[in-house]
Amino acid sequence: MTALILTLKPPVTTKIDCRLLTPQHLAQKTLAEIKAMRLSQHLIVADVFDVTGENVNQIIFKQATHSLDYVGYQMKSGQITVEGDAGDFIGAAMQGGVLICKGSVGERAGDSMRRGMLLIEGDAGEYCASSMKAGTLGVLGNTGARLGFGMKRGTLLLAQTPTLQATWLDCGWHTLPFLNILYQSFKTLDTRFATLTQMRVQRWMGDVSGLGKAEILVLA
């Protein structure tokens, strides 16, 4: 089965709430039913996306821009790939599966995320991983202010050194064996994360204004 492809129709002038475009919401739906799904009061899927393919466990957003909010919201399984950029709240409240964004994302990526893997190849906006409960969030580009605000548990894997914050505590440099297992899982995915081999990381723990059991791992 070919992946379900949602190609954004230019030009887009408004924000588009994509929270219903996840594997669990699209399961058992025909292509016609998916096209007719209502995204907001005045918008159905077919208004903004060309829809092709059939495998709802493999969803690809093409020609994506920052206008797409809530991509992968509460997704539980399967894989979503964003070819391009995404807006705010990508992977928010995510509960499983793999979500890859090949471009940059807006604010609050992975907000309240509980499980799964969110991989952002570009930059992430402010409040990335805010209130994250668990799971793995990777960012190859730069991250905005207030990174990991209120983050409770989970792993934030960064390729670039973030701005220092008072509520994150430096635990030093380490070679962590589990990273090899994580990297091997990346190798099964079509993402630049598959090229990571660096086992040595600087570990920060926080956000100590709250539970403080989360970690930021910064690649050397």
Least distance CB 39 / another protein (angstroms): 29
Rank residues 41 and 188 by Cβ distance to another protein and give the closer one.
188
207 binds another protein (CB under 8 A): no
Q: What residues have CB less than 8 Å from 41, skipping those under 6 apart?
A: none
131-150 footprint of another protein as x/- string (CB under 8 A) = ---xxx--------------
Rank residues 33 and 170 by Cβ distance to another protein and give the closer one.
170
Scan residues 40-99 and list those touching another protein (CB under 8 A).
96, 98
92-111 footprint of another protein as x/- string (CB under 8 A) = ----x-x-------------
Least distance CB 146 / another protein (angstroms): 23
- Within the chain, where are the H helices? 23-26, 31-35, 45-48, 178-186
- Residue carrying structure tokens 């495998």: 55
195 binds another protein (CB under 8 A): no
Q: Residue 40's closest CA among 20, 56, 60?
A: 20
188 binds another protein (CB under 8 A): yes
User: Is-contact 121 102, C-beta < 8 A?
Assistant: yes
Binder of another protein out of 90, 117, 132, 147 (CB under 8 A): 117
Burial class (CB in 10 A: 0-12, 13-18, 19+), 60: buried
Rank residues 185 and 195 by Cβ distance to another protein and give the closer one.
185
123 binds another protein (CB under 8 A): no
User: Is-contact 97 77, C-beta < 8 A?
Assistant: yes
155 binds another protein (CB under 8 A): yes
User: Is-contact 17 39, C-beta < 8 A?
Assistant: yes
Residue 79, phi then psi, degrees to nearest 5: -140, 135
Tokens of 112: 């309240």
Scan residues 163-182 and list those touching another protein (CB under 8 A).
174-178, 180-182
Q: What residues have CB less than 8 Å from 115, skipping those under 6 apart?
A: 94, 95, 96, 134, 135
Binding site for another protein (CB under 8 A): 96, 98, 115, 117, 134-136, 153, 155, 174-178, 180-182, 184-185, 188, 213, 215
